[in-house]
Amino acid sequence: MCGTEKAALVNKCSLTSTAKENGSTRTTLSSDAVINLDQLTLLISLSHNGDPMMFESYWREMGDKCTFEIPGCQSLSYFANKNNLCWFLEPELEEEIKRLHRVVGNAAVEDHHVVVGTGSTQLIQAALYALSPPDESEPTSVVSATPYYSCYPEVTDFLRSGLYKWAGDARVFDKDGPYIEFVTSPSNPDGSIREAIVKKGQGKVVHDLAYYWPQYTPITCCAHFDVMLFTASKCTGHAGSRIGWALVKDKDVARKMTKFIEISTIGVSKEAQLRSAKIMGVISDSCLHPNSNNFFEYCQRLMAERWGKLKEVVGRSKIFTLPEYPPEYCLFTGEFSEAHPAFAWMKCNKNTEDFEKFLRAQKVLARSGRRFGSDPKFVRVSMLSREEEFEIFLHRLLSIQATSN
């Protein structure tokens, strides 16, 4: 069954009613609904993500404070800042990105250029374009350590580029010559902190730090890499805005990444940039003012609750296991805490070859470990779904265990 058929199935089975409420859509689930904890594999090849709907409640609580307004005569131009290397980057967004990183302390911004993209997915491609030597006879090898983010192979190869080519697991890569290594840290799918693996002379490393925010993981240091990718989807929860940004040390790399976005989409939506700037500003303010509803603390609490519940359910039997995350000191919260990743990387200890298929038969959609270059005994489950979906998921896991014990 292809992804689109799956989507049709889920749409038929799981959504019994939808209604607009406070400008946002709520979905009610029937009790035998197919739960989709791999939101986006529904759609062929889609991906990483897990629709970050669980942060919606924060934004609803914040009310008018984060309403964005733009008059019809604003932002007609392609240009946002003709004096900037990234000429389509709104100055307000650049400022709020830098402020937020300074407030959180998760990445260095002082000696980096900011390049905005239509989500970090576009920036992944911009980085490939910018870091592939233009004069090689062979495409540059692109690698990442398993389990790797399941979109890298497809994003790298879908246009059969002569500039770069997916070369699989970084751990077994032994070719000479130029290569590009993606380091996703915390890892998607397994939440672990990662470092570059290959470490050869002609290599370039892209640090995909989409999940390096306090709600998911302790901020143990201020990241200071050559190319760092971030996305509003995972930071603020606004996946629909399609706003990502790269912090890029080298001016020529930043210029080439900008050129990629110039050729492929002539910049990035100004509305999305300006709204993201406003949303990020609200987050920074929430962290700085002692009596306000600190965004990251709020979201970390939600994540911790969900992980607590999942661990409890999983702990009741021997069928499933989850990774362990030792407590670490978080520079942002000033406390020791465990990671609460956006995904649960679950392993099935039953004698089943294909965990994803097994779960699907129980009406739970997750993404097979195979998609991450790993073992099909693993699946990746999104922890960011709506509350109701998550509760039904737990309920189903309990039933599976009750039958199997």
List the Cα angle 254/255/256 in 5-degree steps: 95
Verify binding: residue 39, a copy of itself, rule CB under 8 A. Answer: yes
**How near is the Cβ of 283 to a copy of itself at its closest, in Å?**
10
What is the smallest separation between the CB atom of 35 and a copy of itself, expressed in angstroms? 15
Rounded-to-integer distance, Cα 148 and Cα 371, Å? 9
Please state the closest distance from residue 120 (CB atom) to a copy of itself, in A. 9
Q: What part of residues 322-361 is at the interface with a copy of itself (CB under 8 A)?
A: none
Residues whose CB is less than 8 angstroms from the CB of residue 71 and which lie 6 or more positions away in sequence, other chains included: none
When asked if residue 34 is in the footprint of a copy of itself (CB under 8 A), the reply is no
**Which 119-138 positions form the footprint of a copy of itself (CB under 8 A)?**
119, 121-122, 125, 129
Within 41-70, which residues bind a copy of itself (CB under 8 A)? 43-47, 49, 51-53, 55-56, 59-60, 62-70
Q: Which residue among 270, 363, 380, 396 contacts a copy of itself (CB under 8 A)? A: 270
Site for a copy of itself in 234-253 (CB under 8 A): 237-243
Whole-number Å distance between alpha carbons of 132 and 292:
45
Looking at 102, 224, 249, 255, which residue binds a copy of itself (CB under 8 A)? Answer: 255
Q: How far is the CB of 294 from a copy of itself (least distance, A)?
A: 16
What are the beta bridge partners of residue 19? 26
- Cβ-contact 236, 242 below 8 angstroms: no
CA distance 2 to 13: 17
Distance of closest approach, residue 203 Cβ to a copy of itself, in angstroms: 21
One of 133, 138, 202, 263 touching a copy of itself (CB under 8 A): 263
The window from 102-110, 154-162, 169-177, 335-343 that contacts a copy of itself (CB under 8 A) reads 154-162
Whose Cβ is closer to a copy of itself: residue 1's or residue 174's? 1
Total of residues contacting a copy of itself (CB under 8 A): 87
Spatial separation of the C-alpha atoms in residues 300 and 297, rounded to whole Å: 5
Q: Residue from 5, 28, 79, 395 that binds a copy of itself (CB under 8 A)? A: 79
**Placement of tokens 């901020």 in the chain:** 219
- Cα dihedral angle (250, 253, 259, 260), rounded to 10 degrees? -140
Which of 9, 102, 146, 154 contacts a copy of itself by CB under 8 A?
Answer: 154
User: What is the nearest approach in angstroms of a copy of itself to the Cβ of residue 22?
Assistant: 6
Contact mark string toward a copy of itself, 159..188, x via CB under 8 A:
xxxxx-------------------------
Secondary structure of residue 140 in the 3-state scheme: strand
Q: And the tokens for 14?
A: 């799981």
Please, which residues have CB within 8 angstroms of residue 144's CB and are 6 or more apart in sequence? 152, 169, 170, 181, 182, 183, 184
131 burial class (0-12, 13-18, 19+ CB within 10 angstroms)? buried
User: Of the listed pieces 71-79, 182-190, 222-230, 290-298, which binds a copy of itself according to CB under 8 A?
Assistant: 71-79
Work out whether 74 is an interface residue with a copy of itself (CB under 8 A).
yes
What tokens does 369 get?
């470990």
- Count of beta carbons in the 10 Å neighbourhood of residue 56: 18
For residues 237-246, one letter each, b for 16 or more C-beta atoms within 10 angstroms of the residue's C-beta and e for the rest, the string is: bbbebbbbbb
Whether residue 186 has a cis bond before it, omega within 30° of 0:
yes
Q: How far is the CB of 129 from a copy of itself (least distance, A)?
A: 7
Nearer to a copy of itself, 49 or 185 (CB): 49
Span interacting with a copy of itself, options 198-206, 256-264, 285-293, 396-404, rule CB under 8 A: 256-264
